[in-house]
Amino acid sequence: QVQLVESGGGLVQAGDSLRLACATSGLTFTNCAMGWFRQAPGKQREFVAFISMSGGRILYADSVKGRFTISRDNAKNTVYLKMDNLKPEDTAVYYCAARYVTPTMNSQDYRYWGQGTQVTVSS
Q: Specify whether the CB–CB gap between 34 and 22 falls below 8 A.
A: yes
How much is the pLDDT for 106? 97
pLDDT, averaged per 10 consecutive residues of the chain (123 residues), comes to 97 98 97 98 97 96 98 97 98 98 95 98 97
Report the alpha-carbon distance of residue 109 to residue 62 in Å, rounded.
20
b/e map 69-82, b = 16+ CB within 10 Å: bbebeeeebbbbbe
